Amino acid sequence: MKKCSIFLVIILAGVAALTSCEKGAQLYDVTISAYYPEGYGDDLASDVNILIENTISGQKFNLVTNTLGTASIALEEGMYKISATKETSDFYLNGITENLTVQPTGANNWDVHLVATSKKGGLVLKEIYYTGSKTETGSNYYSDQFHEIYNNSDEVVYLDGLCIGLTWPVSSSPTEFVNPDGSIMDRIPTYFHALMFPGTGQQYPLQPRTSVVLAMDAIDHQTDPLGNPLSPVNLGSAQFEAFIEAPGKDTDAPQAANMIVMYTTSTSMYDWLHSVFGQGVIIFRLPTGLDWQTFVANPDNFMTRPGSTSTTEYLMVDKDWVIDGVECNRPEEDKRFKRLPTSVDAGMVWSLATYNSKSVRRKVEKILDGKVIYKDSNNSYNDFINDLDPTPFVHPTTVDD
C-alpha cells in the first residue's frame, strides 16, 4: 500500500488551545496521517474533512487537510476518535479511527485509512421511522414504523428481489462480529426478519426520483381501530407491508404487497420490528444466479455470536452486496457503537428519544426539474437530519443546509 502522511490544519486550534490553557491543561503535539485506499493512485489527499472528537469530554475539532498535506495540532490527554470524509468526482472517501490516546511521553502519531465508495447512484433509504409513538393512555406504540426507499438515479430500478435486513446488536454494547484486529467483519449479521421484495424480475418498477414505503402495518394508524390516534402517520397507501404469517398474530392489509420472509432469528416474533433504540438497516441484492432459498439453506451463510454460548444463528450478508446502509443508533452518546463497516456507512444517525413520533430523513442535495436528489456521501452523520415529523410519500421542495 502506498501511504501518504498528511498533517491536518485545525480550524479552531487557537480557540481550543486558549480554552485548554485557561483551564491549566497540558497540551501535547499530535501528528495525524491519512492513507488512501490501496491502488487509488494519488499521493496526496487535500481537502479531506476531518472531525476529531474527545470521546470523554465531547469536545470536537473540525479540520481540513491543506494542499501541502502538512499541519499539526496540540491536544489534551484523553481518548479520541477521528472521522474523515472527502468527495471526488467518482468516489466518496471515508475513514474512522477510534480509541486513540494522547500520551504525555513519546510521539503521538495517529493514522486514518480512507475507504472509497463509487458514486453509482441508485436506491437509497430516504426516511426511516423507527422510534414509535405514545398512545392516549401513555403506552408505547411501534406498529407505525416504516422504511422509505427512493430511486435517486435517472433510470428505472426494479425492486423485485431486493432484500432488506436489520443488524445485530440492538443494545448499547459493541458488536461481537469483529476481526482479530478489532475491525468490523465484512459480513453483516442480520437480526429478526430478513425480508425480500416479491416479483419475478420486472413486476415492481420504481421510476426515477420516486419512492416506495415499506410499512410494518399498512394501515391508517391515526384512524384504524387497531391503530393509535396519536400516531404521526397514515400508512394506508404503503405499497409494501412486512406481514408475518402467524394465525391471529398479525393483520394483513390487502392493498399492500407482502414481503417474502427469507429468515428470522426468532420464530416467536410476529412483527418485523426495528428496535426503537435504533438498528443498522441495509438494502442489498443477492449475487446474480443465487436464489434466496439456496442462500438460506447454506449453513456457511450463518454465524453464532463470537465468544457467546448463544445458539442463535444470524444470517450474514456480504458488505459488497449492500446497495445502501444506514447506521441508526442509540440516543445516548455513550451507548452509540458502530455495527456497519465503514464502506457501508462511515457515520451514524440517531433520534433523541424513543416513542417521540420522529423520524430520520436523508438531506436534499439538489432539486432538478422539480425532482429531488438526496444526499448520499456514504456517511449518515452528514447525510441525514434527525427528529423530523415523518413524511412518508412526501418529498421536500427545498434544499437542506
Task: DSSP letter for 320, please.
Answer: G
Residue 353 pLDDT exceeds 90: yes
In whole angstroms, give the CA distance from residue 401 to residue 399. Answer: 7
Q: Which residue, among 297, 295, 360, has the nearest Cα to 321 in the 3D structure?
A: 295
What would the pLDDT profile of 225-237 be if each residue is shown by its tens digit?
999 999 999 999 9
Task: Give the CA angle between residues 228, 232, 235 to the nearest 5°.
Answer: 80
Give percent above pLDDT 70 in the chain: 90
Enumerate the β-bridge partners of residue 306: none
The confidence band for 9, taking pLDDT boundaries of 50, 70 and 90, is very low
- Residue 116 has a pLDDT of 76
Q: Which residues contact 340 (CB under 8 A, 6 or more apart)?
A: 167, 184, 188, 280, 282, 325, 327
Q: What is the mean pLDDT of residues 164-177?
A: 91
In whole angstroms, give the CA distance from residue 73 to residue 110. Answer: 11
In whole angstroms, give the CA distance from residue 195 to residue 319. Answer: 17
Q: What is the mean pLDDT of residues 248-265?
A: 90
170 neighbors 151 (Cβ within 8 angstroms): no
- Residue 15 has a pLDDT of 42
User: Looking at this protein, which amino acid is placed at residue 259?
Assistant: M
Q: What is the mean pLDDT of residues 289-300?
A: 97
Q: What is the mean pLDDT of residues 243-259?
A: 85
Residue 216 pLDDT exceeds 60: yes
What would the pLDDT profile of 45-99 be if each residue is shown by its tens digit?
778 888 999 999 999 998 888 776 556 788 999 999 998 888 887 778 888 989 9
Comparison of pLDDT for 7 and 303, the residue scoring more = 303
In whole angstroms, give the CA distance from residue 1 to residue 39. Answer: 7
Q: What is the mean pLDDT of residues 140-165?
A: 96
Residue 348 pLDDT exceeds 90: yes
Q: Where are the extended beta strands (E) located within 40-135?
A: 49-54, 60-65, 73-75, 78-87, 91-102, 109-113, 115-118, 123-129, 133-134
The C-alpha cell at 298 is 447454506
The confidence band for 358, taking pLDDT boundaries of 50, 70 and 90, is very high
Q: Which residues contact 51 (CB under 8 A, 6 or more apart)?
A: 60, 61, 62, 63, 82, 83, 84
The confidence band for 8, taking pLDDT boundaries of 50, 70 and 90, is very low
SS3 call for 112:
strand
The C-alpha cell at 383 is 447525510
Q: What is the mean pLDDT of residues 305-322?
A: 96
In whole angstroms, give the CA distance from residue 118 to residue 264. Answer: 31
73 neighbors 12 (Cβ within 8 angstroms): no
Q: What is the mean pLDDT of residues 147-169?
A: 95
- Residue 221 has a pLDDT of 97
Comparison of pLDDT for 301 and 268, the residue scoring more = 301
Residue 16 pLDDT exceeds 70: no
Q: What is the mean pLDDT of residues 15-32?
A: 65
Dmax (CA) of the chain: 68
Residue 18 pLDDT exceeds 70: no
Q: What is the mean pLDDT of residues 339-360?
A: 95
Task: Give the CA angle between residues 349, 250, 141 to the nearest 5°.
Answer: 45
SS3 call for 344:
coil
Structural domains of the chain, with CATH: 8-117 (2.60.40.1120), 123-388 (no CATH)
Chain mean pLDDT for the chain: 89
Pairing of strands 314-318, 187-196: antiparallel
SS3 call for 45:
coil
Q: Which residue, among 365, 354, 366, 357, has the nearest Cα to 392 in the 3D structure?
A: 357
- Residue 173 has a pLDDT of 86
- Residue 71 has a pLDDT of 61
- Residue 259 has a pLDDT of 97
- Residue 68 has a pLDDT of 67
